[in-house]
Amino acid sequence: MPFTVALTGGIGSGKTTIANAFAALGVEIIDADVIAREVVEPGSPALQAIVRRHGESILTAEGTLYRARLREIIFRQPKEKNWLNQLLHPLINARTQQLKALATSPYVLWVVPLLVENGLQHQADRVLVVDVDEGIQLQRTQQRDGISLTQAKNILAAQASRQQRLACADDIIDNSGTPEQALPRVAELHQRYLRLAATGRD
Ligand code: ATP
């Protein structure tokens, strides 16, 4: 398996923006959100199992998973949340391992928004946290998603705190400046990860 750097950060911290900068350096990106969507694509065994359990009303008119409805069910019924996790986690894990095994870059960047919340930090060789203060997080999230301050605050409150996330970090990227200002730090970390992947030493 290639050396794995987990990249995480709160909503709107700039994970995608920073991941793109690593991708531009030739690093392969494995995106946990993309995998989570992939395993429940129309026609997938997991989506069929969900329909058997919850009925056709769990599908949209297009035949895709009606996420909002499923979210509502698992929010109200912890038993259903457990059932879903037991169904999806092994599939997500297997697909993640498969993509890692196929990777050809010296290390891979595994982008996992809920790394800390789901206790997945031990599945990576290194944890990189994209960090901005909460004011910036709220402002960028509101601007991007067109939501109110209250809505943005609610999402933040449901995630790990900045402190909890930073406590898990091996490395930190400060993304409070412009994206261009973060590039030297990305280049520096890239060199560090190449060294670590090749020699196991910093
Ligand atoms: P999410 O967890 O919600 O998917 P994210 O952590 O992937 O978010 P991005 O989508 O990369 O964050 O960034 C959030 C928003 O902030 C985007 O609109 C992005 O263009 C903007 N943004 C990211 N980095 C910067 C920056 N350094 N300066 C200004 N705007 C930025």
Arithmetic mean of pLDDT over the chain: 96
Q: Residue 25 C-alpha to ligand 1 middle, in angstroms?
A: 19
Q: Residue 61 C-alpha to ligand 1 middle, in angstroms?
A: 31
pLDDT at 202 over 90: no
Buried b (16+ CB within 10 A) or exposed e, 46-73: bbeebeeebeeebbeeeeebbeeebeee
pLDDT at 195: 97
Q: CA–CA separation, 145 vs 190, rounded Å?
A: 30
For the CA of 145, the nearest atom of ligand 1: 18
Q: Residue 16 C-alpha to ligand 1 middle, in angstroms?
A: 7
Residue located via tokens 């991007």: 144
What is the mean predicted confidence (pLDDT) over 95-100?
96
AA letter at 163: Q
Ligand 1: residues with CB < 6 A are 9, 11-17, 113, 140, 144, 175, 178-179
Q: At what angle do helices 45-54 and 67-76 cross, to 10 degrees?
A: 60
Q: CA–CA separation, 165 vs 153, rounded Å?
A: 17
For the CA of 176, the nearest atom of ligand 1: 27
From 15, 131, 140, 185, the mutation candidate for ligand 1 (largest count of ligand atoms within 8 A of CB) is 140
pLDDT digits (tens, 9 = 90+) for 185-197: 999 999 999 999 9
ipTM over 0.90: yes
Domains and CATH numbers, the chain: 1-27+107-202 (3.40.50.300), 35-104 (no CATH)
From 7, 8, 16, 142, the mutation candidate for ligand 1 (largest count of ligand atoms within 8 A of CB) is 16
What is the mean predicted confidence (pLDDT) over 3-13?
97
pLDDT at 201: 86
Contact 1, 100 (CB under 8 A): yes
Share of the chain above pLDDT 70, in %: 100
Q: CA–CA separation, 69 vs 125, rounded Å?
A: 36
Sign of CA dihedral 136, 35, 74, 114: negative
Identify the helix (H) or strand (E) that includes residue 141: helix 134-145
Q: What is the largest CA-CA distance in the chain?
A: 53
- For residue 13, say whether it is annotated as part of any ligand binding site: yes
Q: CA–CA separation, 20 vs 182, rounded Å?
A: 12
CA end-to-end span of the chain: 19
From 17, 129, 155, 173, the mutation candidate for ligand 1 (largest count of ligand atoms within 8 A of CB) is 17
